[in-house]
Structure formats: C-alpha cells, structure tokens
Amino acid sequence: MPAPRKLLVTDERGVARCWWCGSDPLYRAYHDREWGFPVADDTRLFEKICLEGFQAGLSWITILRKREHFRRACRGFDYPAVARFNTRSVDRLVKDASIVRHRGKIESVVNNARRALELADEAGGLAPFFWRFEAPGRFAGLRSTSPQSQTLSKELKARGWTFVGPTTIHAFMQAMGLVNDHVPGCAGRPKVEKARRRFRAPN
C-alpha cells in the first residue's frame, strides 16, 4: 500500500526516499547505504546505541556530521577499550569541541561499555542479545516506540544501561535493521527487505 506522498521525497533523478533524509547528501547516503540494513557486528551495534544516546534532544544529522569525531574520541567504540575510561578520560572528552560535550551522555557511554562487557559475557555477544528483539518488517506508520523497543529498553535498564529509553531504542532498532521502517514506496525499502531475508540472526 503506497504511503502518503508527504512521507516520501523525490530527488532530481526521480528516486523516492523517506521524507526525513531531505536533500542533504550526507543524510541521503546514510539513508541509502546504512539505515535499516541488518547489522550483526558488536562494535557497530554499540556505536549506534551510544550515538542514539548522544542524539537525545538533538537532530540525527547533527550527530551524523560529528560521527567520525565521536569514533576518534571513543576509540572506535571498541567497548572493551571504552570500559577502561576513567574520570580523566571523561574530563578530556568534555573539553573536546568536536563532539557533543555533555558530561552525562559521555559518562553514559563509559557506563554502557562496562555493561556491554557483562552482556556480551552473558549472551555470547551483543548481537545475539539484540536480535532476540527483532520486530516485524511491516511499516507501522510514524511511531516513536514499539512493543519490541519498550521491552528491550526495560531489559537494558534492568542491566544498568543508561540513555536507553524506548524512543532511543526504537531509533536504534530502525537503524540497525531489527525492523524495516522505510516508508512503502521508498527506493530503499525493497533493498532492506531483501537484506533482511538473507540475514541470519546470530544466536
């Protein structure tokens, strides 16, 4: 069923995309090559959940433009390395103008890296745990949470993770392919559907 036209934007070549990527080339590339494609790499999963936490109160394009700086500052989001950060490390990052200098969010990354070590030990990796919460691929409209994101958020909070509310987790799930929320009619939707069919969730 085609989505309402307002949920799609068509570029100068006639390619239809989800409305949110607009005309920004960086945003379009992210939409076309990354958003919604299934990810099983623990480092990428950890990176994304941290960046979604940094996004709270900001736009995703702001974080996307700073992503390489975040990667440099956070040791490529290698969570065993980030788990060793201390107060001095946090102080250093708070002074780094190339990233979002929010102490609470930076401290959350360090905390979540330590919790990620525990979770990986419990579940055999981050990916096997996260993919337990895969959602159906049907487009469900302009929602900011889902039953799966609410459940995953509760599970993470119970394990001591922070900045992992259901809205943040829903955005994480959309981006990492745990659900296909490309709008019907978007050129990216069938590509993601195909990738999800071929993907074998880790266990």
Q: Are 162 and 54 in contact (CB under 8 A)?
A: no
Select from 19, 30, 17, 28 the least CA-distant residue to 185: 17
Select from 46, 164, 40, 148 the least CA-distant residue to 105: 164
Active-site position among 19, 20, 30, 107: 30
Select from 203, 52, 198, 197 the least CA-distant residue to 137: 197
Active-site position among 52, 79, 131, 161: 52
Q: Is 185 left (phi over 0), alpha (psi -120 to 50) or beta?
A: left
- Using CA atoms, how far apart are residues 187 and 181, in angstroms rounded to an integer? 12
Q: Are 63 and 100 in contact (CB under 8 A)?
A: yes
In the annotation, is 30 catalytic? yes
Select from 74, 149, 68 the least CA-distant residue to 107: 74
Active-site position among 27, 35, 47, 60: 60
In the annotation, is 19 catalytic? no
In the annotation, is 60 catalytic? yes
| Residues annotated as part of the active site | 30, 52, 60
